[in-house]
Structure 1
Amino acid sequence: MAAAPILALQGIRLTIGSTLLLEDAELSVTAGDRIALVGRNGSGKSTLLRIAAGEIEADAGRRFLQPGVTIRYLPQEPDLSGFPSTLHYVEDGMQAGDEHYRATYLLNALGLTGEEEPARLSGGEARRAALARVLAPEPDIILLDEPTNHLDLPAIEWLETELGAIRSAFVIISHDRRFLADLTRATVWLDRGATRRLDQGFAAFEGWRDSVLEEEE
């Protein structure tokens, strides 16, 4: 019997301007899932992830989040404005019962001290602080939009190890094919507004996609 989803999007439809971006798109996340969300540039991947995160609402469809489930979202352009330091920024994403030592641990592991002023951060430093913020509370679900952007190779390798060890379910959008292939166990393909799911990681995606397209011809 399949596990019940802790996050589900069903029948998602969204129009931006006169463009129908999503039509009957779906996403189902169960505990411990490791999902690659793939599709061509402009297909709506980031938008679907924002709907999953609760950042925006679809025109139609249903979003279900199991009561009590915690979720954290890493956008492509994290906003650190209004915080006096990177440590304050990371701790702001945590709750009273979380282990707050993880904020400092993760910042240090990512090459930051916690004392940095957000306004002075480079793109890579801001991305590292944002990663620490989503990882620190050890949420049930992590939604990651291009997490390796602006990161050097050692930081990418560290992130891959960290994600490989956590209990959290995650959904990843990334142009880093090796990163996706190494980490994911399922793939959701967003194509022409709709989604298809493969219960194998990204390493198996291209062969499956090609067979689907051949069947359509």
Structure 2
Amino acid sequence: MKNRMLALLLGLAGAASSVQAQEEFVVSYDGFYDRLKVVEKGEFEFARVNFYLVDIASLAPCQIQSGKIVTENTEQPLNYTQQAQLLLPFSEKLDKDKAVIVAQPKNPQHDCQIKFQIESAYFTNTHLTKQRLYQLHHEFDELLSDLSGFFVSKLMGFLLPQQKGVKVTFASEPNLSAPGVSCDKQVCQFVVTDDWENDTARFNTLSEVVSVTPWIEK
């Protein structure tokens, strides 16, 4: 049940997205806007919700050939990365104008869907301290709760997945060894505890931080 709820909240939203067979991917902007608005209203230094176009079967990036944001009267380029992350503006006007996102996958055989991912922004090795990981852990927890909405977070909180800590992906094996830290190749899981709140102890590694995401207990 918890895993199903997590998928709902973080949004492998294949059913909600529109896939026009093997030609272009089209989806309404309003679902992105609603999630971006939650982040804008919160006080998050690092936590963000990002959007990726992924293959339905493999979840690999659906690399994008071209894209645009279209309303009834306007059209503007869609910004995206090589990993098929959609770099969308936070725009009340696009929401009111019923904008849609149109993307042309490089591989026309891909069936694509949107993946909503809670992860860090601007989090680098300089932030790799217990104190900062504690902060990010609680930002993730708050953002997940905010995205879930009042009904789930307040009345059905027992359905929310349990966040145990944070998961850090490095550019190479970080060779970290410390209590509460477990690593498998380039990915390390940090069990964040309350005594980390004011602890400035640093985790030292030469490997660069690539991303940080919530560590959800399954």
TM-score when scaled to structure 1?
0.29
Q: Which has the higher strand share?
A: 2
Q: Which has the higher helix share?
A: 1
Structure ID, larger Rg: 2
